[in-house]
Chains A and B, each alone.
Chain A
């Protein structure tokens, strides 16, 4: 069964540094998402992306965050100047469609980001 893959599985970064989290969504999917989960807390929506544009973003997704689909297969989340509170599991997800068809989202196993 096709899977969403995320790399690296664990990223350790100094505060203030830039970090890029990478995802390879399922190949025929058109909608892409990032979520995060701080240890012991709920999974939180960050951003959704379709047709090379951000469709929706949450309040968490401020100017230090950006997303990109640099080629036909990768989907990346960049955090420009990391803060201690950015430490979390970051999950990428993709769905075949969004909107009216209510397509399920398929998640990767996440990247654990640790900010020192």
Chain B
């Protein structure tokens, strides 16, 4: 399993963009990069995933480095509701196998009003 490194914590102001980095230098060529977040007292929530190209959805954008050894989750305008722990999880694409998620310690994002 690929090892990930994320900052323990980050702080942002409301309505400003937030860039959450993740290093995954041991990622394999077929691993997707998934991001989940966990709001206080809730279960993890899927945010976004990608393989090589940058990805956008209604929640966030994912920028993946050309060498795939790092990625950045971008929240374009942080809200108080975005305060959560954010997890970067490389995930193998195995034919027929299950995709167990291996959570690290993630980045605790605080959003100030």
Contact = CB atoms under 8 A, between A and B. Distances in A.
A107 B100 contact: no
Given A91-B44, A109-B42, A100 B103 contact: no
B15 interface: no
A104 interface: yes
A98 B32 contact: no
A107 B93 contact: no
A56 B98 contact: yes
- Scoring B41, B94, B100, B103 by chain A CB atoms within 10 A of each residue's CB, the highest score goes to B100
Interface stretch (A11-19, A37-45, A63-71, A79-87): A37-45
Interface residues of B, number: 25
A99 B100 CA distance: 10
Contacts, number: 72
Given A42-B104, A105-B99, A100 B43 contact: no
Contacts of A55: 97-98
B105 to A, nearest CB: 6
Contact of B100 (A33, A50, A91, A102): A33
Contacts of B46: 104-106
Interface in B82-113: 87, 91, 93-105
Given A42-B105, A45-B102, A105-B101, A99 B96 contact: yes
B101 A35 contact: yes
B49 interface: yes
Nearest to A110: B43
Nearest to A55: B98
B32 A102 contact: yes
